Chains A and B, each alone.
Chain A
Amino acid sequence: MPKLPLDGIRIVDMTAVIGAPYGMLLLAEMGAEVVRVESLRHFTSTTRGTMAHPPKELVPTMGPIGGGYPDFDPGDRPWNRFALFNCHAHNKFSMTADIATAKGQAIFKELVNVSDLVVDNQTNFMRSFGLGYDDLRRVRPDLIVIAISGTGAEGPYQGARGYGGHFENLMGHAWLRGYPEDHPISITPTVVASDPASGAALAWSALAALEYRERTGQGQYIDMSLTEMYAHHVGSAYLDYSLNGRVQRTMGNRHPSMAPHGCYRCRGDDRWVVITVATDEQWLALRRAMGDPAWAKDRRFADPFRRLRCQDLLDRHIGEWTSQREHLEVQATLQKAGVPAGAVMDVSEIFRDPHLRERGFYRRVEHPEAGVHDYGFQFWKMSRTPVEYRRPPPLLGEHNEYFYRELLGVTAEEYRRLEAEGQIGMDYPPDMP
């Protein structure tokens, strides 16, 4: 088996919540030894749970994310059974240390000394403990530090709090999505595409910095702002303002030059299909697939410009046709006819999806505390260095022995002392909510 691209690279992972951990996953899958350094005394919400000890009876009421435990049972160690964590943590390692203490900071620096990168998304927090880039480069001069934040590590908005959605507001995404009729009240900031975007950018930034280090011997500091990175995902809207002074706003499901381009109701409860037509050829294919109804021959739909102008009527007709059919049936029929169409799939459909199954998107894994489940894990396919599910999401502190004893050479006696001091362990204190 060939070496993975990041074999031999060790990364200290101080990331929380989801966007940055997703980027760390990409690096871990490609062979980097990614070690999460977690504190037993500080519980970072929305990472290993929204609470350390959620009351079992509350779990089913905590929403799809907060309540994401196997069979709604948080178990004895809920932090090892949390779906949001376990969806991004395979192939990573976990050790515990409390960097709020002097001892924890010393351990952290020893770890940095034998690592290539440090990634954090809590820059101010790291700096306040004397673990900012300027401190760490003294430990290891060629270190690479990547700090991910919403609005940048420097600048007037430094320290602004938020989830991905809040920063999407600041770079304009909120204004560009949602229902056009009553925008922006109805937008749904709960879906956050900027998080995985920052994860991908974190991965290629790390690769660029490693390449640079190999060429020059020098490490560096990377200040990654989610707003700046994600701005590039709506770059043409920025240029429309810059070149034309136009402030774009949402078109809902419509498109500036394609029609039909909509989401249509199908048979069943909350079932929908989207259909997007880019060319006359696709329009004719759609007509044929619908049985070439009389309405479709109307001159008002004869060319793209007219279809764009008469979209309300066009959408009503198409919606009548789709509403008598199953969404997956419409998808299959139209795709076969050469029309870009897709069912609005929920997670149960994605779980069963024959295409993902055939391409090996899922892997059945036994997790020591969460049980046996299929995990979706394949982001891309590589012919020589395929993505492998090498180990399940780490239990909190699962790799303490390895990192403290083997890597850092801590004696057995010192190890026991650190356990007694609460640096090393596998449980949050029972009184932590």
Chain B
Amino acid sequence: MSHAFEGVTALDMTSGVAGPFCTKVLAGLGVEVIKIERPRGGDPSRHHGSFYRDIPHWETSTLFLDLNMGKMSLTLDVGTSEGARIARELAKSADIVVEDFKPGTADRLGVGYGDLEAINQRVVYTSVSGFGQTGPYRDYLGSDMVFYATGGEMCSTGEPDRHPVRLANYVISTQAGNMAAAATLMAYRAARTSGVGQHVDVSVFETAASSVDRRLQHLMCYIYNGRIATRADNAYAMYPTGVYACADGFFHIVGGGTRFFHRTTAMLGMPELVDDPRFNTTEALLSQERKEEFDAIFVPWAFSKTKAEILEAARQHKVYASPMLTTHDIFHDANFEARGFFREVDHPATGRHRYPGPPVKMDRIEWRVAPAPLLGEHNREILVQRLGYSLADLARLRQAGVI
């Protein structure tokens, strides 16, 4: 077992969620990622909660600890001429550069693609931004919810008579980072054979608009026939479909119609219901009244089962149903446990804890599981050992606020 991209190096000038998720994937696959952080405070995500034991500290943010696993940290103010020069020095030997400055900023600071291409022709330079490097929204500001509203399917998320509602935490930005990782490795592959790198422009807005988080499908349907998906469309499926309560929580099922109803009734131990004249006509499958009649059978069954029992019954009868697990359930889940998903990670500021492990299980490729770096943890290693600065230089740079 070894890492896929052992020996490949990336200079990471990103912060927040989307860019850091991109380089988290690269780090997991074995790329050596040098993360550049501003000298005072570091990546802003260090200041977003929650924090270990709820005590705010830049080394204990769960958001930062998760998104920056396995990277090195170098504090550097790229806004100073000396800082930009050091960044260029590092970029000279890097295979990959990932940045998420506001469009135009990197060029102004002298660390844009043009600057780095001139000193390193094979470099792959990925820019991650809210709305892309060009176009009328180029300077727009974003947040995860702004990206979901503009690019994604927020308009069809929620109930028809209520306001649209977003998805969890930062999943839209995370997806952009995931796409940026794929795009970066594509460009790396091209550069490895041709010897010439390129500029990759990833926009969170576009990754949302072109993703099959229903948006691309709904967009295609609209283009084909003019129908606009709304929050009312969530009621289309046939019963039993939706969220139901069980003995210790909730579960979601898609269990109706000609495709699924026979599996559901088998799961209930009442296969005869398939031929029951109350339910076996197309009209009955769509009737609200018959739905209530069926619920009178289904709801008590559901209440008698735990989440784990529902899952097992559904699995046995090939029913599309699953319980809604909480993080507590997940950390005690038989499947995650049996597959060895969680890995122990020891971090100097927070101690030893279980972290999500390899997102993909590969036979021969090892996923790098290592803690997020402390702020500036690798300053000396990178500046002194690799770039040849003296300890006196370091003191001077620190005093000048460059590192």
Contact = CB atoms under 8 A, between A and B. Distances in A.
A210 B341 CA distance: 24
16 contacts: A162-B320, A170-B322, A176-B168, A176-B169, A186-B162, A204-B178, A228-B360, A236-B170, A243-B353, A244-B54, A276-B143, A339-B141, A341-B146, A373-B223, A379-B183, A382-B198
A355 B135 contact: yes
9 tightest A-B CB contacts, nearest first: A176-B168, A235-B66, A196-B211, A208-B4, A87-B220, A241-B327, A68-B221, A63-B236, A384-B198
A380 B359 contact: no
A237 B21 CA distance: 15
Interface stretch (A3-11, A92-100, A424-432): A3-11
Contact of A342 (B146, B153, B203): B146
A208 B8 CA distance: 12
B270 to A, nearest CB: 20
Contacts of A373: 223-224
Interface in B124-167: 131-137, 139-143, 145-151, 153-159, 162-167
A26 interface: yes
B149 A345 contact: yes
A212 interface: yes
B363 A172 contact: no
A114 interface: no
Nearest to B64: A236
Tell which of A3, A156, A342, A378 has the most Cβ of chain B within 10 Å: A342
Contacts of A247: 326-328
B306 interface: no
A254 to B, nearest CB: 9
B334 A232 contact: no
Interface stretch (B44-52, B293-301, B373-381, B387-395): B44-52
Given A64-B217, A151-B335, A193-B171, 20 more contacts: A83-B223, A152-B335, A161-B314, A174-B324, A175-B325, A192-B213, A199-B212, A204-B29, A207-B189, A231-B341, A240-B50, A242-B331, A242-B353, A247-B327, A270-B230, A274-B145, A345-B155, A361-B206, A380-B206, A382-B201
B56 to A, nearest CB: 10
Interface stretch (A105-113, A215-223, A287-295): A215-223
Nearest to B229: A64
Contact of B243 (A156, A184, A272, A376): A184
A200 B175 CA distance: 8
Contacts of B358: 228
A347 B229 contact: yes
A405 B221 CA distance: 35
A307 interface: no
B63 interface: yes
A389 interface: no
Contacts, number: 517
Tell which of B145, B156, B212, B237 has the most Cβ of chain A within 10 Å: B212
How many residues of A sit at the interface, in one of the four size bands?
35 or more
Interface residues of B, number: 152
Given A69-B225, A373-B223, A344 B149 contact: yes
A2 B190 contact: yes
B210 A376 contact: yes
B96 to A, nearest CB: 13
Tell which of B67, B225, B311 has the most Cβ of chain A within 10 Å: B225
A3 B200 CA distance: 16
A314 B350 CA distance: 36
A201 B140 CA distance: 28
Interface stretch (A33-41, A257-265, A408-416): A257-265
B92 interface: no
B216 A166 contact: no
Interface in B235-256: 236-237, 243, 250-252, 254
A320 interface: no
Contact of A380 (B141, B150, B183, B233): B183
Contact of B228 (A84, A173, A347, A356): A347
B193 interface: yes
B206 A191 contact: no
B118 interface: no
B74 interface: no
Interface string B202-214: 1101110111111
B112 interface: no
A228 B209 contact: no
Interface in B286-316: 311, 314-315
B359 to A, nearest CB: 4
A187 B166 CA distance: 10
Contacts of A228: 336, 339, 341, 356-361
